[in-house]
Chains A and B, each alone.
Chain A
Amino acid sequence: MIAFRSLILALAVLTLLAACATTQAPAPVEDRSQAGHRSPVEEVRASAPEEAGGLQVFPLRNPAVDELIRGAEQAESVGDLDRAAVLLERAIRIEPRDPELLQNMAEIRLAQSDWEQAEAQASRSFDVGPRVGELCQRNWRTIALARERTGRHEDAHRARERLQACRVEPPPRF
């Protein structure tokens, strides 16, 4: 698939650049005080833009799944999580390796308090995804939350550490 090939290319370039980077910028510390007021999904998504300063990778998407994603977002906005999951599953059947779709599914599972699936889907999204940038942060924030909710605090801590490494500074432009 062309989309995937360009994703791989983007990845390769990125990882190369990452290897060139000598220092890693300090990532902002999680604001834990706010976390208590937000739902898990809000926490995963809301903090993302604050940290979106680093390098971002946006994989190309199959336009055929766009309407499914919009439908899922709409269903979620009116609280119909089951329907959102059904639509996302249909999209994933079409594009089984789209990291964005997998992460969206992870967040629906999070909202449904299905911690096990939230973690599994986010982990899969990370495996096939860019492993840097906002999506990577959403992946690891989801994993960390799911682990916290299931009482695996050490594993959750490791996930928070891995989250910091998602932030890669863009290469200087000349």
Chain B
Amino acid sequence: MLRRLIIFIFCFLLGLVLGLGGPWVWWLDREAGQRFAERQWTQNSRVFARPLELYNGRVISLDDLLVELDAAGIRPGHPGQVGRFSQRGQALDIHLPGFVFADGPQPAIRIGLGVVDGRVQGLARADSGNAGLVRVPPAELGALLPIDDSERTLVALADFPPLLVAGVQAVEDRSFKHHRGLDPRGLMRAAWTNFRHGQVVQGGSTITQQLVKNLFLSPDRSLVRKFNEAVMALSLERRYDKALILEAYLNEVYLGQDGPNAIHGFGRASEYYFGLPIQALAPEQIALLIGMVRGASWYHPVRNPERALSRRDRVLDMFLETGLIDAATHADSRGRSLDVNIQRQRRDQRYGAFLDLVARQLRQDYRERDLSGTGLRVHTTLSPSAQRRAERALTEGLVKVERQPGELQGAIILLEPASGEIRALVGDRQPDRRGFNRALDARRQVGSVIKPFVYLLALAQPDRFHLVSTLRDAPLSIPVAGSEPWQPRNYDGASHGDVALMEALARSLNQATVALGLEVGLTPLFRLLRQLGVEPGKDPHPSAFLGAIDLSPLQVAQLYQPLAAEGYNTALRAINQVTDAGGSELARYPMRIRPIRDREALALLDFALREAVTSGTAASLSWRLPADIGARGKTGTTNDRRDAWFVGYTRDWLGVVWTGRDDNAPAAISGSATALPIWAELFSGLPVSSGARPWPEGIDWYWIDWPSPLLASEDCAGARALPFIADSQPGLYSACMNAADPPSGNRRWWQR
């Protein structure tokens, strides 16, 4: 009877186990396979600077090159190691990490070069000696809109250092290559070791089991979970190959917290703890991270340094035991300190203002959902060295001119005019502070910065105006519907009578400019601004001729771009290309240019803005700059000295500087005394190429009895050679001309 009962109970339990357990195992198996296949780590969209191109003759200062290397994560050290460089005087030996560029990958290479007189020389590869053109991998500027609470930098298995891949196996799961997900012998060994030490010093879980636990299961320790873990581990091993499992593990393993965010994977951990890409880690650094797998918080190198150090040394011992490192390396590594360099602040902060613009330009083309979490790689136009210079110029410049510390704010935009690519952007005098981005969002009156466009409209009518047309600088009163008549005054309070058009612009005379503005019209001015890509608002008041229009520094930069780019308009860009996490192209933002119709008028305007720098309101540039860099520019100061602007350009760069108070109160500042010195400080450090601006066809040069609109000859006292759109030159001769010596007319520029 009892026996039958026992048999019955046994059969019942067996049936229960088979009936419930069978489907349960089947379900676990299916689940593990599916979920592993579908797993998609949310990965931050990563943003990169423009890569620095190196070639012989490239203009760059040694300081800037070092800034670029630092930004790219390449540190001083032994260049035998990837990601390190050494310096001897002006000679550098650099081991560049590999990078997948838009037009193909560049493997890690070691190069040597010198910087002599501000130019790269003797560029050579350590392997072949030959190097025409080499790119420094771009600096990573930060991540876009992180949405979840984990941080990852995915790394492909092949890109992990071999010591890390082998080391993880040596420490965590020595028979990983051979087992099928579970390792009974390892389990036994662990149990024995733990028994001997009287505490848990070794885990018996295989790498596969740990991965399963991390990916799918809750962290509680129970028999049911152990069972599930084992089934799913067997299942993964049956379905996927070892390399895939190991790669997933290396990218998934938990390695600590960065504030509220969990750090997953060795890629991100390397960046967080050492500020280095994983490929650049030394053996003792790899050992530290591997040691932390056992307990990222227990072995935390900052909170528990002693425990971390002894764990690291234990890992180094295991490296030696398994033959991964030799005795010399082992001794050397053990002798080193922990040397962590936590990059608590993600780089987003540093380049926050620029990333702001990148995010806005991306949002025009992508949905928010696609932008975050899918691991886009955004290749931008920023130059870290130019950015550094711009930040310093603003911060230090404001300190020099403000009445009380912290009173003034400012913004800088720096770009390459021909391509419209933005190289630097500063939106706050404290560049790492996030918040109001003045470069994009401060809409302030532009003052005289608008004047060149009034003059451009005039010069585009060569039958009416040229550079020596006479303008009247005198008091004037303009009736305005519904309010008092408007009576513009000059900056110095005086009126200057008859002046040449070019002089009126160079000296920024208000009354002469308004008189000219009334000739060319307010509607055409607004139409021109719109054509150049800027919306000036809807309220056309004649004070707009003097810049009573609110624009952001970015908009001002857009207005001046075609002027600086010799007559070719292009949209300002912060992004070159967007790829997915694997490097395939999703979007490209190519250089697109549009010729401005009145390129001749633009060339004359350029000449006049050169005059502003040599003898007008911006004349102080000549002593503020170390050399003549061929600058052209325009100052701007608004009513009650609330805003100070300087917009200036050379053949290579266009820079906009704005300063003022956030509350828009009078600040006792001016374009020439406040904004211009900041611009000069920035531009005195930028690389310059020499050479003259090409004149468009259809420009002729004439000797003029300056400042009268009369033809003269070279021999006349004070005569100047000026450019004219063909057939627009004055028709009258100066009295200094001898009737017996008629002007030769139509003299071309080399005859000046």
Contacts and interface: CB of A to CB of B under 8 A. Distances in A.
Contacts of A90: 53, 103
Size category, A interface: 35 or more
Given A15-B748, A15-B750, A128-B694, A62 B55 contact: yes
Nearest to A86: B103
Interface stretch (B176-184, B258-266, B592-600, B670-678): B592-600
Contacts of A1: 689-691
A15 B595 CA distance: 24
A127 B697 CA distance: 8
Nearest to A89: B591
B590 interface: yes
Contacts, number: 78
Q: A-side binding surface: helix, strand, loop or mixed?
A: helix
Residue from A12, A68, A127, A128 whose CB has the most chain B CB atoms within 10 Å = A127
Given A120-B595, A123-B595, A83 B57 contact: no
- Chain B facing A: main interface SS: loop
Contacts of A116: 594
B133 interface: yes
Interface string A45-80: 000000000000000001111111001000000000
Contacts of A87: 103
B103 A92 contact: no
Contact of B690 (A5, A67, A83): A5
A136 to B, nearest CB: 11
Nearest to A91: B133
B689 A120 contact: no
A62 to B, nearest CB: 7
Interface string B626-656: 0000000000000000000000000000000
A29 interface: no
Interface in A105-143: 116-117, 119-121, 123-124, 127-128, 131
B419 interface: yes
Nearest to A67: B132
A7 B290 CA distance: 60
A16 B133 contact: no
A168 interface: no
A2 to B, nearest CB: 8
Given A5-B690, A86-B103, A96 B590 contact: no
Given A8-B692, A87-B103, A92 B55 contact: no
B694 A94 contact: no
Given A66-B132, A85-B590, A4 B689 contact: yes
A160 to B, nearest CB: 16
B566 interface: yes
B102 interface: yes
A150 B53 CA distance: 37
A20 interface: no
B418 interface: yes
Interface of A: 1, 4-5, 8, 12, 15-16, 19, 62-68, 71, 83, 85-87, 89-90, 92-94, 96-97, 116-117, 119-121, 123-124, 127-128, 131
Given A83-B103, A87-B103, 9 more contacts: A1-B689, A1-B690, A64-B132, A89-B591, A93-B53, A94-B133, A96-B418, A124-B595, A128-B566
